[in-house]
Amino acid sequence: MRFLQIDQITLLEPGKRIEAIKKLSGDEDYLKDHFPRFAVMPGVLMLESLYQASALLVRASDEYQTGLVLLRTAKNVKFADFVQPGQTLSITSEIVKREENRFVMKASGRKEDSLAVSGRLVVECVQTDAASAVDQHASLYMRQLTEQLQQAAMACS
């Protein structure tokens, strides 16, 4: 995840759900252009936040096996409110259904008391060469990233 859209993981229940947050500081590079006089988090990045949380949940649920977690479908995505600098997007994703390597996730992002984005995501774990050094590194990276994001939440509480 090169452009991380999650700052903290506040709850992680492998096989069930994840809760995470993204604090929009105002220093994000994309806010300079989106929009100069009314800076808001782009909808596609709100959706990316939902996907990233979902991917971390799937990895934790599979004990960080090797492979890729791909977004296959984003269904019924609704954008209901803007997220502006100084606000926090609270992300929740839960596993609704699992069929082998395919997961149906119900995900949403809220700011304060209002829904900002919601939808159903279908993600799939695509197995790769488990012996590959790249795959082993990616698996380790996802585990370490999850731990860092959980520690960030503990440091703030």
Active-site choice (14, 17, 28, 34): 34
How many structural domains is the chain composed of? 1
26 within domain boundaries: yes
User: Which tens digit of pLDDT belongs to each residue from 126-136?
Assistant: 877 777 887 88
Q: Tell if the pTM clears 0.85, that is, is over it.
A: yes
Residue range 71-100, pLDDT digits in tens:
999 999 999 999 999 999 999 999 999 999
pLDDT in tens, 2-61: 689 999 999 999 999 999 999 999 888 888 887 878 899 999 999 999 999 999 999 999
Query: Is the CB of residue 95 less than 8 Å from the CB of residue 104?
Result: yes
Question: At residue 149, does pLDDT exceed 90?
Answer: yes
34 is catalytic: yes
105 with 95: CB under 8 angstroms?
Answer: yes
Is there a domain that residue 2 lies in?
A: no
Question: Domain of 93?
Answer: 8-156
The answer as to whether 107 is a domain residue is yes
Q: What tokens appear for 123 in the block?
A: 């993600």
CA dist., res. 6 & res. 69, Å (int): 17
118 occurs within a structural domain: yes
Domain of residue 135, CATH code: 3.10.129.10
